[in-house]
């Protein structure tokens, strides 16, 4: 390292130098670890398919794939782009791999930066954020692992009646709650969409299509299309609360 | 779900499949900590501050992580413990993962949690969870190095509609899933959905305005009330 502190400091804060010294290894490490993770996420499905011959067939994969892409495709892009300013490069790789960015990763980075009183956008802020995000990931893994093993033990001793009650009612309760959480901000949008979907789901019981599963697939698509078009109309009239 | 299927999806082999991902997430965090320490030494930043930051990050992340416990145990009963452990160590929280699972079941014309869930359905659900997650991960890998210039190109006007568009797809998704549960699940499901909606609305929009802390537990409380009322009235 140079003995001349002034020259050294200029060199250290030079954007090109930061790019070479910090961003390049950060990007390389993020890319490699995430690509490895992508491969590993397919293991459970591959295992079931090979060991138990559980592959359902392509004619069932494609409708499911279509729905997943249509329902979640926008979020794949919007979320990483919108949280980037809070997380930075290393934080993005860690944050999106570990998830719960809004609830856990971003708050961890912000709290640590405030507490350490580092200057926004500096390398000091960057390293503080990275370590804080890593810390929040470690505590998430601890909670998950403990819950998983304690939870498995609890499930094993719960009476059958309660277990089947949870299986039957957890999804309506959760989806009702999620609708209230996201929908309450936009009642003008949520109420018509929900009313129409209840009507369509009810009517769909009386209609038989040549391919039975086509109806439920269509319902998902109709719900999204109707919600987006209706939102567009409200947006043009300036009736969407979130962007007023 | 049959007891036999329950044994398969909670078998040792499934735990073995799951642990790789959990370890990889941990490894990535450790690798980035090492990189941050190296960078701190280069720029002459006191690494004692990094130790404090790590502890702060742990503490900040701990509370929100705890709030998902009830949802996590419910998810374990529906699709198995190992896959729940694995899926929740990455990207999505429980509502996202259950959204993927429910939409997949819906594409087959069945309801998750029902009798018609067999090993082929579970295998398809696991596959779709992997694919949905891959979307976020691939976008992160591809866009993160280019994010600076990309954000400049997205104008302010477009980003406003983008916010509305995202909100609309989320509302559309949960409106459809809640409507499906309401119309197929019988009286108990109706009670569960309405109480889930009502409790969340009350906690999030009325109580939540005064005390922010309650918002973190709103989903847990809504689910517990919904399940209990569903069992009692169903």
- Per-residue pLDDT reduced to its tens digit, B129-161: 999 999 999 999 999 998 877 766 765 556 788
Q: Are residues A129 and A209 in the same domain?
A: no
User: Has residue A173 been placed in a domain?
Assistant: no
- As a whole-number percent, the residues of chain B with pLDDT over 90 amount to 68
Q: What is the ipTM of this complex?
A: 0.88
In a domain, A211, yes or no: yes
CB pairs under 8 A between A and B: 569
Percentage of residues of chain B with pLDDT beyond 70: 97
A199 within some domain: yes
Mean pLDDT of chain B: 91
Nearest CA-CA partner of B110 in A56, A138, A133: A56
The yes-or-no verdict on residue A2 having pLDDT over 60 is no
Query: In this structure, is residue A150 part of a structural domain?
Result: yes
**In a domain? residue A169:** no
Place of tokens 């702060």: B56
Helix (H, G, I), strand (E, B) or coil at B49: helix
CB contact under 8 A, B128 and A64: yes
Closest C-alpha to B205, from A179, A232, A156, A28: A179
Q: Indicate if A45 and A135 belong to the same structural domain.
A: yes
Smallest Cβ–Cβ distance between A169 and the set B94, B135, B226 belongs to B226
Burial class (CB in 10 A: 0-12, 13-18, 19+), B26: middle
Pair A234, A148 in one domain: no
More confident of the two residues A102 and A69: A69
Task: Select from B10, B14, B60, B188 the residue whose CB has the most chain A CBs within 10 Å, as the one to mutate to test that interface.
Answer: B60
B111: confidence class by pLDDT, cuts 50, 70, 90: confident
Largest Cα–Cα separation, chain B: 65
Quickly state the pLDDT bin for B221 (edges 50, 70, 90).
Answer: very high
Is the separation of the CB atoms in B32 and A94 below 8 Å? Answer: yes
Cα distance from B201 to chain A (closest Cα, Å)? 5
Dihedral sign from CA coordinates of B72, B76, B79, B81: positive
CA nearest to B34 within chain A: A131
Same domain, A103 and A144: yes
Mutate to test the interface with B, among A94, A178, A199, A230 (most CBs of B within 10 A): A178
Asked if A213 and A122 sit in the same domain, the reply is no
pLDDT in tens, A95-119: 999 988 888 898 899 999 999 999 8
The answer to whether residues A150 and A201 belong to one domain is no
Which residues of B fall within a CB distance of 8 Å from A126? 36, 39
Q: Is residue A168 part of a domain?
A: no
DSSP state of A158: S
Our CA-based measurement puts residue B158 at a distance from the nearest CA of chain A, in whole angstroms, of 12
Q: Chain A residue with minimal CA distance to B202?
A: A180
**How far, in Å, are A82, A144, B233 from residue B53 at the CA level?**
24, 22, 49
Min Cα separation A200/chain B (Å): 9
Q: Which residues of A touch B120 (CB under 8 A)?
A: 54-56
Total number of residues shown for chain B: 234
Q: Is A111 in Cβ contact with B194 (below 8 Å)?
A: no
pLDDT score for A8: 64
Q: Give CA–CA dist A40/B20, Å, rounded.
A: 7
pLDDT of A1: 45
What average pLDDT does chain A have?
90
Distance from CA of B60 to the nearest CA of A (A): 5
Percent of chain A residues topping a pLDDT of 90: 63
What confidence tier does B98 reach under pLDDT thresholds 50, 70, 90? very high
Instruction: Please tell me whether residues A99 and A50 are part of one structural domain.
Output: yes
**For the residues B37-44, what does the mean pLDDT come to?**
95
Are A220 and B103 spatial neighbours (Cβ–Cβ below 8 Å)? yes
Which of residues A142, A158, A174 is at a domain's end?
A158
Local structure of A210: helix, strand or coil: coil
- On whether both A132 and A211 belong to a single domain, the answer is no
Instruction: Report d(CA B169, CA B162) in Å as an integer.
Output: 11
> Closest approach of chain A CAs to the CA of B227, in angstroms?
5
Please write the tens of the pLDDT for every residue from A24-63. 999 999 999 999 999 999 999 999 999 999 999 999 999 9
Into how many domains does chain A fold? Answer: 2
The answer on A94 and A39 residing in a single domain is yes
Each residue of B142-154: b (16+ CB within 10 Å) or e?
A: ebbbebeeeeeee
**A191 and A106 in one domain?**
no
Give the pLDDT confidence score for residue B127 in this predicted structure. Answer: 97
Q: What is the 3-state secondary structure (H, E, C) of chain A?
A: CCCCHHHHHHHHHCHHHHHHHHHHHHHHHHHHHHHHHHHHHCHHHHHHHHHHCCCCCHHHHHHHHHHHHHHHHHHHHHHHHHHHHHHHHHHHHHHHHHCCHHHHHHHHHHHHHHHHCCCCCCHHHHHHHHHHHHHHHHHHHHHHHHHHHHHHHHHHHCCHHHHHHHHHHHHHHHHHHHHHHHHCCCHHHHHHHHHHHHHHHHHHCCCCCCCHHHHHHHHHHHHHHHHHHHHHHHHHCCCCHHHC
Give the separation between CA B56 and CA B49, rounded to whole angstroms. 10
The whole domain housing A102 covers 9-158
* Same structural domain, A53 and A119: yes
Give the one of B49, B83, B88 whose C-beta lies nearest to A116's C-beta.
B49
A1 is a domain residue: no
For chain A, how big is the Rg over CA atoms in Å? Answer: 24
- Residue A125 maps to a domain: yes
Confidence band of B217 (pLDDT split at 50, 70, 90): confident
Question: How far, in Å, CA of B161 to CA of B117, rounded?
Answer: 39
Question: Are A99 and A210 found together in one domain?
Answer: no
């Amino acid at each position: 390292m140079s003995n001349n502190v002034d020259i050294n400091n200029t060199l250290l804060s030079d954007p090109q130098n930061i790019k070479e010294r910090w961003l390049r290894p950060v990007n390389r490490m993020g890319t490699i670890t995430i690509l490895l993770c992508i491969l590993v996420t397919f293991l459970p499905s591959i295992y079931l398919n090979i060991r138990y011959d559980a592959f359902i067939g392509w004619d069932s994969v494609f409708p499911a794939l279509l729905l997943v892409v249509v329902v979640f495709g926008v979020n794949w892009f919007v979320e990483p782009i919108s949280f980037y300013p809070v997380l930075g490069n290393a934080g993005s790789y860690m944050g999106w791999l570990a998830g719960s960015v809004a609830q856990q990763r971003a708050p961890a980075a912000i709290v640590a930066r405030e507490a350490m009183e580092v200057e926004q956008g500096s390398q000091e802020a960057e390293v503080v954020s990275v370590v804080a995000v890593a810390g929040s990931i470690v505590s998430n893994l601890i909670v998950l692992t403990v819950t998983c093993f304690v939870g498995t033990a609890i499930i094993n001793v719960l009476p059958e009646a309660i277990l089947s009650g949870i299986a039957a009612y957890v999804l309506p309760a959760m989806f009702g709650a999620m609708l209230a959480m996201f929908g309450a901000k936009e009642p003008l949008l949520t109420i018509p969409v929900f009313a129409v979907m209840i009507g369509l789901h009810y009517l769909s019981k009386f209609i038989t299509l040549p391919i039975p599963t086509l109806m439920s697939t269509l319902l998902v698509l109709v719900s999204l299309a109707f919600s987006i078009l209706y939102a567009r109309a409200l947006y043009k009239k300036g009736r969407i609360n979130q962007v007023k | 779900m049959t007891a036999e299927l329950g044994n398969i999806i909670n078998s040792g082999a499934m735990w073995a499949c799951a642990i790789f991902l959990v370890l990889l997430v941990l490894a990535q965090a450790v690798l980035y900590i090492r990189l941050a320490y190296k960078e701190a030494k280069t720029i002459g930043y006191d690494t004692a501050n990094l130790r404090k930051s790590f502890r702060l990050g742990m503490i900040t992340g701990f509370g929100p992580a705890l709030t998902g416990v009830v949802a996590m145990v419910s998810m374990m009963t529906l699709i198995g413990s190992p896959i729940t452990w694995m899926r929740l160590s990455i990207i999505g929280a429980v509502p996202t993962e259950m959204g993927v699972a429910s939409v997949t079941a819906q594409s087959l014309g069945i309801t998750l949690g029902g009798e018609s869930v067999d090993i082929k359905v579970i295998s398809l659900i696991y596959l779709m969870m992997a694919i949905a997650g891959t979307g976020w991960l691939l976008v992160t890998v591809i866009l993160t190095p280019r994010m600076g210039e990309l954000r400049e190109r997205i104008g302010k006007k477009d980003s406003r509609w983008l916010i509305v568009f995202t909100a609309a797809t989320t509302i559309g998704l949960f409106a459809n899933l809640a409507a499906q549960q309401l119309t197929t699940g019988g009286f108990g499901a109706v009670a569960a959905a309405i109480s889930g909606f009502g409790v969340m609305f009350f906690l999030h929009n009325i109580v939540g305005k005064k005390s922010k802390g309650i918002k973190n537990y709103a989903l847990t409380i809504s689910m517990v009330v919904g399940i209990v009322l569903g069992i009692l009235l169903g």
